[in-house]
Amino acid sequence: MNEMTPDEFRSLVINFSEAVESAHMSHPDFRMSGRIFATLGYPDEKCGMVKLTPDEQANFIRADPDVFRPVNGAWGRRGYTNVHLPAAKIDRVREALDVAWRNAALKTANSARIRPVGHGHAAHLFESSGSCDRKIAA
């Protein structure tokens, strides 16, 4: 099996709809609507990272422990998952990236759907449901 390269990881990520490469803490990151869903080069050049939920992370680690590992510390406990590129298969990495991208897309959709209206302590939340807004208990 050939090792996955950082350029192959980047190529997979950039093919997702609305994916944009940026930089964060001196290494490349990939965002969808401003939300990071993957990074490259941390903690070293042989690693990528996908932002999963803790349950999703556990499933990927269980299936491929040589490829997927939690990031150290609190970030890892929140689902941030390193991808060890030399052991990775393209199809499996694409699957993890798809999950991470969908998580970012869902958060973007949810934040656009629920928005604060008003000022200070008197602010109310409204949820858009098509052409009408319906009040949600704050």
- Please write the tens of the pLDDT for every residue from 62-116: 999 999 999 999 999 999 999 999 999 999 999 999 999 999 999 877 766 544 4
Domain count, the chain: 1
* pLDDT tops 60 at residue 56: yes
Structural domain includes residue 25: yes
Structural domain includes residue 1: no
Sequential DSSP letters for 26-67: TEEEEEETTEEEEEESSSSTTEEEEE--HHHHHHHHHH-TTT
Structural domain includes residue 32: yes
- Please write the tens of the pLDDT for every residue from 19-52: 999 987 788 999 999 999 999 998 999 999 999 9
- CATH number of the domain residue 64 falls in: 3.90.1150.30
Q: What is the mean pLDDT of the chain?
A: 83
Residue 126, H or E segment: strand 124-129
The parent domain of residue 75 ranges over 6-136
